[in-house]
Amino acid sequence: MQARPDAAAEPLLSVRNLNVQFRSNDRLLHIVRDVSYDVRAGELVALVGESGCGKSVSSLAVMRLLSDPTTTRFSGEVRLAGRDYLRLPESEMRRLRGRDIAMVFQEPMTSLNPLMTVGRQIMEPMLEHLDIDRAAARERAIDLLKRVGVTDPKRRMDQYPHEFSGGMRQRVVIAIALSCNPKVIIADEPTTALDVTIQAQILDLLRALVKETGVGLVLITHNLALVARYADRVNVMYGGRIIESGTVEDVLRQPRHRYTAGLLMAVPRLDLPRAARLHTIPGQPPSPARFPSGCAFSPRCGAATAACGSVPADTVTRDRRYACFHPVVDVLPQEGEHAAAGAEHTFGTTVLSVRGLTRHFHLKRRAVVRAVEDVSFDIPQGGTLGLVGESGCGKTTVVRTLLRLQSATSGRADFAGQDILSAGKRDLVALRRQIQVVYQDPSTSLNPRHRIASILAEPLLVHGLCKSQGEARARVEELLGLVGLPAEMAERYPHQMSGGQRQRVGIARALGMNPRLIVCDEPVSALDVSIQAQIMNLLADLQAKLGLSYLFVAHDLAVVRHISDVVAVMYLGRVVETATRAELFSTPRHPYTRALLAAVPSFAADAGQGPEAKITGELPSPLNPPSGCVFRTRCPMAVEACAKVVPPPVAFSDTHRVACIRV
Amino acid sequence: MLQFIGRRLLLALPTLLGVATLTFFMLHVLPGDLVETMLRAEGGNPSVELVAAERARLGLDQPLIVQYFEFLKGLAVLDLGQSHWTGKPVAEEIFSRLPVTLEVAALSMIVAIALAIPLGTIAGMYPGSTVDYAIRSFAIAGIALPSFWFGMVVALAMLWYFNWLPPLGTASLFKNPLTALQQLILPAIAVGYRYSAILIRMMRSSVIETMHEDFVRTARAKGLAMRTIIRRHVIPNSLLPTITMIGLEFALLVGSLVVIEQVFSLNGIGRLFIESVSRSDFIVIQGIVMVLTLIFIAVNFLVDLAYAVIDPRIQLG
Amino acid sequence: MRKSSAATELWTTLPKPRGPVMKHILGQPLGALGLVLIVLGFVVAFAAPWIAPYDPLATDYGNAIAPPSFAHWMGTDSFGRDLLSRILFGGRTAFLIGVSASFIGCTIGLFVGITSAYAGGWVDAIVERFMEILLAIPITVLALVLVSSLGRNMVYGVDLNLVFAIALPIIPKMARVARSQALTIRNLSYIDAAVTLGFSDLRIIVRHMAPNIFGPYIVMLTAFISQAILIEASLSYLGLGVAEPTPSWGLMLAGNAFNTSMTAPWIVIYPGLAIALVVFAFSMFGDALRDVFDPKARADR
């Protein structure tokens, strides 16, 4: 970590007792409660928390972007360089926005006006706020583009947003934020929509800008690892309040608040030995409509007592603050609790064997998208294969073809002595019972018009697994128990449940068919960290209990490491490396795997394998993939020969295969 | 650009052919017999022989499929045939009456767009406000009032309060613009109001949607004034769906025109259409439907062009 | 986004709790008004034979073109027929034709749209082309062509061919909406889940897709009742819809009505108001329904 700025220096941005309320026809939501924090020059301050904790709303309030007084009210103080602007009339506030305080939003694909050139959008705030003519603004915009790492800025100035990739658009948004030399920038989940390699590029850029220009940056995120890697100070939010704050080292190494500690232990971490089970926080984050009175975390807290019924006052020590009646006193264990997480399993048999799976999409004018090209892997009986890769790598297409939601162009997939890809109609129905799916988004994977009971019972009755309604009802109850839901849930509709509960119903529906293999398509990526751990433990328990095999698709390497026995890494439609978990995470061989691992933000200070392992540039189009090795255009090790042949897999062990000629 | 026009023309052909086929067969399955009606209109009770002879003269004794191909052959060389009733070439009948209709259509469209963009934007900026309710009610009224009745009421009001009636006859917009405008403005308002109502609603809902777009939030975070944001970011993006609507609902405008010409005794193509329908003069009906379809296709082509001008994501060619 | 002078006082009182009915009415005042008008219209039209003060067909030349009076609330027409009675009976025609044409058109369109989306491939392509062709012809024109070619086919006093002529142009519009809705739902993962659970096509369409298209169907049905009533009025006005002497609002405006109205405006004012009121009611109700079913277009969020 770089030298921290003098803590005594006057803060640039100072938020004091900020409260925000939303009111609709029938509800009053007090979403942000007495939030206070400071941002100093050249400092990167993180606001971290799960969904609904009020982190985004508080920053919109700081920007004064919540402006409809009929639905929103706020109170408190927000000082920018000593001056409170929370009460300024909008006409004066507008002069501050974009000039002294700027914002970077989450969704780069939608935060630029599609009908205006990128250049004009960067020049807009300058022409509005600075005494500057068009030519000078243009000069400066070109300069800014260069600074945020856009190559050929002169030409790209006159292009439209749709000609930019997501990562490049986020760079443009950052250039807009920088355009008037603001004192403070608020970045609301700036990389959540981006792939991990692009995320690393963007955050490295932001951090460099902060250190170079002395701007203060508020980084809003749900990702603790990002905080560890990039922030100087951190504020942990829960139930609308900041419950703990301090320097990153202090808070992450020695959390005081029970919630912070629980959250840190619930995250699967690449820098620690793998624990067999993740630590979980029971229950779910409170919805803003029903923040518990007193300490909002108390209903989920193991240490809660009667005292927690009132709001804990801040305990302030030199450089820290936390609000907890029963603070953690120990240093957080740096090893997983069950550090001896058992030896690696060895698997004898294979449940699903995929060979040469290929899927091409034919577009108009003879264009072909090679979504999946010659993919092979084996899923061990009773084990988990993790299929990992960034967006556009083809992992979703692999899943859809294996489930026969799409047809494959060629290849085979043997399951119980039968090729899934060529199975006839009748065989397919039988296969479908044995291969079940858990989907990514629990909000769309359950029919909104059916009750949980009917969602779970319908397949049982259709396939004759239960002969009568009564039998089905008993089985539904049993299934709900299996996934840890109370039987009353059967009467609910999906929208009356939380995301985690819906995901449990999705798992129960799959289990109802007594499958041998469950395809988990990013089952935890839409969930909050504390819920994610619960679901991953549930999946592991079910596997041990029922002898299930999993095909686990994910983009989060830490999650993949936690849950998989064997891992296949995909890039641009091809599998570049397959290995056991131990092999892949201790001795990654393929340069792409290594770059991917290096890009994952890690809790360990100065982790990462240095800049040389990071990949630069962007994913090539699958319409026109590079010849030979598809990774060569971004590979630090590429040589001429890489362009000539598609690298055949090289075996390093029985289980470790790498498709690269340079290893 | 040329390629774009070419491709659009190519795409229009099957639609035209489809419309031609559909109209032809719809008109020829009907029970009514044109020849008898016509001869009866001339008085007396025509003999069977006379009817047969007349049918043969008009080519109506041919098998349907032969008549169909004759009709298509005519279309291919832009020959719409002769009116069974007047014996004049259909094309001539149509083109002599087309200008009035086109003039009213153009005027209505101007009225509609001039109302829709500002009103839709204001309503969309403040959804749920009093202004919004007023504009929405204005719009729903525009959809609810039958345009022919609205036309009558406006004309009555003009007569009642200003003792003013539109001049009789049909003046040419180019030779006698003032008189023509006086004749055309009331029907244009009646039809344009109805058409604008649809556009206002579209514009309103797309402004509401655009106001919630992330890029508008970006613009607000830049510290731009609301006026600038509306003008530069919200309106252009909201125009796109509205422009599409202009093309899609053009058919509705034409439908209202057909009726309004009756009210104001405008001697346009709509009047001709109604006359031909009551005379069962299929050849003319067919011809008019073809011309209207062609106009519909042309308007939608212009709409696509306008779209491409505004939206850089759409590339011509 | 009104000009805000920074509302920095927090609320201390909770909003008044309201029942679900009240909430809907407050959320959709225009829609509630529409519904009330529709119900009122139905009742009045249904009860026309009992509440109409005169026989709508009875002529009284001695009392022709009488202005509104206590005896004739809305006056009489040029045949001396009571306008109020004719409007009440005209309501029956309007509702009957409007509701049945919209129902027929929307139901066929729904079926065509879902089938087309689910079948995909060349079936979808051909159906799409056909719908495009129908959409290129103005509704009124298409209806007129059909009316002129089909002639009349009276069943129980209703011209079935007229109903069909009004219903046909509705089909492609409904089919489009149903198709795109079906395609959207087709891509949601609960339909994937239904496929991977081994459900049959029929079960997926009937149990999982159709119920979720029901909302847009109801919205379109309401919207097209008003369209159908308007088309009926236009056709009747042109003398090609409902035939004399059946009372019809459009027919009451036809012929000499406009010229007569220069001296006796009530002759055109009242029938037109009747059309406007009913169409207004259905449009507002349809709008409110759309907001309920499609939260994206909702006015307040």
**pLDDT, tens digit, 9 for 90 and up, residues B239-265:** 999 998 888 888 888 888 888 888 888
Q: Does residue B232 belong to the interface with chain A, where contact is any CB pair within 8 Å?
A: yes
Whether residue B221 has pLDDT greater than 90: yes
Whether residue A632 has pLDDT greater than 70: yes
Residues in chain B: 317
pLDDT of residue C299: 36
User: How far apart, in whole angstroms, are the C-alpha atoms of residue A417 and residue A121?
Assistant: 59
* Predicted ipTM of the assembly: 0.84
pLDDT of residue C301: 30
A217 beta partners: A44, A185
Token pair listed for A324? 């907890």
**Which of C266, C278, C204, C244 is CA-nearest to residue C41?**
C278
Share of chain A above pLDDT 90, in %: 57
pLDDT of residue C19: 64
Determine whether the interchain pair B27/C230 forms a contact, defined as Cβ–Cβ distance below 8 Å.
no
User: How far apart, in whole angstroms, are the C-alpha atoms of residue A619 and residue A299?
Assistant: 45
Residues of chain B in contact with residue A114, where contact means CB-CB under 8 angstroms, are 215, 237, 311-313
**Which of A404, B97, A420 is CA-nearest to residue C197?**
A404
Angle between helices B250-263 and B147-162 (to 10 degrees): 50
pLDDT of residue A238: 94
Task: Give every CB contact of residue A308 below 8 A, 6+ residues apart in sequence.
Answer: A294, A295, A298, A301, A325, A326
By residue range, what is the domain housing residue C203?
28-49+77-300
Secondary structure (3-state) at B198: helix
**Which of C165, C141, C152, C140 is CA-nearest to residue B284?**
C141
Residues of chain C in contact with residue B133, where contact means CB-CB under 8 angstroms, are 29-30
Summarize pLDDT for B44-84 with one digit per residue, the tens: 666 777 777 777 776 777 777 888 888 888 887 777 777 77
- The pLDDT-based confidence of C297 (bands split at 50, 70, 90) is very low
DSSP track, B20-63: HHHHHHHHHS-S--HHHHHHHHTSS---HHHHHHHHHHHTTTS-
- C63 is a domain residue: no
Among B149-163, B229-243, C95-109, the minimum mean pLDDT is found in B149-163
* Pairs of residues, one from chain B and one from chain C, whose beta carbons lie less than 8 Å apart: 166
- C81 is a domain residue: yes
Of A26, A437, A444, which is closest to C196 when you measure between CB atoms? A437
Closest-CA residue of chain B to C141: B255
Of A63, A113, A162, which is closest to B237 when you measure between CB atoms? A113
- The pLDDT-based confidence of B35 (bands split at 50, 70, 90) is low
Alpha helices, H only, B130-263 = 130-144, 147-162, 177-211, 214-221, 226-229, 235-248, 250-263
Secondary structure (3-state) at A500: helix
Whether residue B169 has pLDDT greater than 90: no
Subunits in contact with chain C (3 or more CB pairs closer than 8 Å): A, B
User: How far apart, in whole angstroms, are the C-alpha atoms of residue C275 and residue C98?
Assistant: 11
Average pLDDT over residues A156-160: 94
Domains annotated on chain A, with CATH:
15-100+182-322 (3.40.50.300), 111-181 (no CATH)
Determine whether the interchain pair B223/A95 forms a contact, defined as Cβ–Cβ distance below 8 Å.
yes
Determine whether the interchain pair C239/B293 forms a contact, defined as Cβ–Cβ distance below 8 Å.
no
CATH of the domain at C123: 1.10.3720.10
Distance of residue B177 Cα from the nearest chain C Cα, in angstroms? 26
Pinpoint the residues of chain B covered by CATH 1.10.3720.10: 99-267
Of these ranges, A257-261, A651-655, B15-19, the one predicted with the greatest mean pLDDT is A257-261
CB A163 within 8 A of CB A136: no
Of A97, A114, A116, which is closest to B222 when you measure between CB atoms? A97
Q: How many CB atoms lie within 10 A of CB A510?
A: 27
- C56 is a domain residue: no
DSSP state of A544: H
Secondary structure (3-state) at A342: coil
pLDDT of residue A613: 60
User: How far apart, in whole angstroms, are the C-alpha atoms of residue B127 and residue B138?
Assistant: 15
pLDDT of residue A340: 43
Of C136, C262, C279, which is closest to B19 when you measure between CB atoms? C136
By CB atoms closer than 10 A (0-12, 13-18, 19+), residue B119 is: buried
User: How far apart, in whole angstroms, are the C-alpha atoms of residue A399 and residue A385?
Assistant: 12
Summarize pLDDT for A545-591 with one digit per residue, the tens: 999 999 999 999 999 999 999 999 999 999 999 999 999 999 999 99
- The pLDDT-based confidence of A457 (bands split at 50, 70, 90) is very high
Determine whether the interchain pair B149/C276 forms a contact, defined as Cβ–Cβ distance below 8 Å.
yes
Closest-CA residue of chain C to A70: C7
Closest-CA residue of chain B to A169: B215
User: How far apart, in whole angstroms, are the C-alpha atoms of residue C114 and residue C135?
Assistant: 18
Whether residue B152 has pLDDT greater than 60: yes
Secondary structure (3-state) at C5: coil
Task: Give every CB contact of residue A548 below 8 A, 6+ residues apart in sequence.
Answer: A382, A515, A516, A517, A518, A542
Q: How many CB atoms lie within 10 A of CB C59?
A: 15
- The residue type of C256 is N
CB C114 within 8 A of CB C209: yes
Summarize pLDDT for B191-207 with one digit per residue, the tens: 999 899 999 999 999 99
Token pair listed for C123? 């079936």
Closest-CA residue of chain A to C12: A28
Determine whether the interchain pair B156/C265 forms a contact, defined as Cβ–Cβ distance below 8 Å.
yes
CB A660 within 8 A of CB A589: yes
Of A65, A102, A114, which is closest to B313 when you measure between CB atoms? A114
Average pLDDT over residues C184-192: 88
User: How far apart, in whole angstroms, are the C-alpha atoms of residue A660 and residue C256?
Assistant: 89
What is the helix (H) or strand (E) element at residue C158, kind and residue range? Answer: strand C158-159
The dihedral over CA atoms of A418, A424, A429, A435, expressed in degrees to the nearest 10, equals 40
Determine whether the interchain pair B254/C141 forms a contact, defined as Cβ–Cβ distance below 8 Å.
yes
Determine whether the interchain pair A432/C9 forms a contact, defined as Cβ–Cβ distance below 8 Å.
no
Share of chain A above pLDDT 70, in %: 94
pLDDT of residue C2: 39
Token pair listed for A649? 């897999």
Of B218, B228, B232, which is closest to A111 when you measure between CB atoms? B218
Q: Does residue A57 belong to the interface with chain B, where contact is any CB pair within 8 Å?
A: no
pLDDT of residue A288: 81
pLDDT of residue A100: 94
Token pair listed for C2? 């009104």
Residues of chain C in contact with residue B137, where contact means CB-CB under 8 angstroms, are 30
- The pLDDT-based confidence of B36 (bands split at 50, 70, 90) is low
- The residue type of A645 is V
Average pLDDT over residues B179-185: 82
Residues of chain C in contact with residue A75, where contact means CB-CB under 8 angstroms, are 8-10
A262 beta partners: none
pLDDT of residue B37: 63
Whether residue B300 has pLDDT greater than 70: yes
Between C155 and A232, where is the model more confident? Answer: A232
Average pLDDT over residues A400-424: 91
CA–CA distances in Å: residue A495 to residues A449, A456, B184: 9, 16, 56
CB A215 within 8 A of CB A48: no
Tokens 């009667």 correspond to A306
Of C135, C265, C275, which is closest to B146 when you measure between CB atoms? C275
- The pLDDT-based confidence of A472 (bands split at 50, 70, 90) is very high
Q: Suggest the residue from A96, A111, A163 to mutate for an interface test with chain B (most B CBs closer than 10 A).
A: A111
* Pairs of residues, one from chain A and one from chain C, whose beta carbons lie less than 8 Å apart: 110
- The residue type of C243 is A
Residues in chain A: 663
Summarize pLDDT for A210-236 with one digit per residue, the tens: 999 999 999 999 999 999 999 999 999
Residues of chain B in contact with residue A107, where contact means CB-CB under 8 angstroms, are 214
pLDDT of residue A611: 47
By CB atoms closer than 10 A (0-12, 13-18, 19+), residue A390 is: buried
Average pLDDT over chain A, rounded to an integer: 88
Closest-CA residue of chain C to B283: C145
**HSE, side-chain direction, 13 A CA sphere, residue A626:** 23
- The pLDDT-based confidence of C157 (bands split at 50, 70, 90) is low
pTM of the entire structure?
0.85
Distance of residue A43 Cα from the nearest chain C Cα, in angstroms? 29
Task: Give every CB contact of residue C114 below 8 A, 6+ residues apart in sequence.
Answer: C178, C179, C182, C205, C209, C210, C213
Determine whether the interchain pair A27/C15 forms a contact, defined as Cβ–Cβ distance below 8 Å.
yes
Residues of chain B in contact with residue A116, where contact means CB-CB under 8 angstroms, are 232-233
Average pLDDT over residues B292-313: 88
DSSP track, B150-180: HHHHHHHHHHHHH---PPSS---TTTSHHHH
Token pair listed for C195? 């496929």
User: How far apart, in whole angstroms, are the C-alpha atoms of residue A347 and residue A336?
Assistant: 25
Q: Suggest the residue from B28, B140, B208, B278 to mutate for an interface test with chain C (most C CBs closer than 10 A).
A: B140
Determine whether the interchain pair B26/C145 forms a contact, defined as Cβ–Cβ distance below 8 Å.
yes
Q: Does residue A73 belong to the interface with chain B, where contact is any CB pair within 8 Å?
A: no
- The pLDDT-based confidence of B266 (bands split at 50, 70, 90) is confident
Of C134, C151, C269, which is closest to B32 when you measure between CB atoms? C151
Dihedrals phi, psi of A83, to nearest 5 degrees: -110, 125
Average pLDDT over chain B, rounded to an integer: 84
Determine the CATH number of domain B99-267: 1.10.3720.10
Determine whether the interchain pair C188/A444 forms a contact, defined as Cβ–Cβ distance below 8 Å.
yes
Determine whether the interchain pair A462/C188 forms a contact, defined as Cβ–Cβ distance below 8 Å.
no
Residues of chain B in contact with residue A68, where contact means CB-CB under 8 angstroms, are none
Average pLDDT over residues C67-78: 78
Q: How many CB atoms lie within 10 A of CB B15?
A: 19
pLDDT of residue B41: 59
**Which of A381, A404, A511 is CA-nearest to residue A455?**
A511
By CB atoms closer than 10 A (0-12, 13-18, 19+), residue A315 is: middle
Distance of residue B119 Cα from the nearest chain C Cα, in angstroms? 16
E strand map for A389-491:
410-415, 418-419, 435-438
CA–CA distances in Å: residue B152 to residues B103, C239, C257: 20, 17, 10
Strands A184-188 and A101-104: parallel
Of C141, C146, C149, which is closest to B255 when you measure between CB atoms? C141
Structurally, chain C folds into a number of domains equal to 1
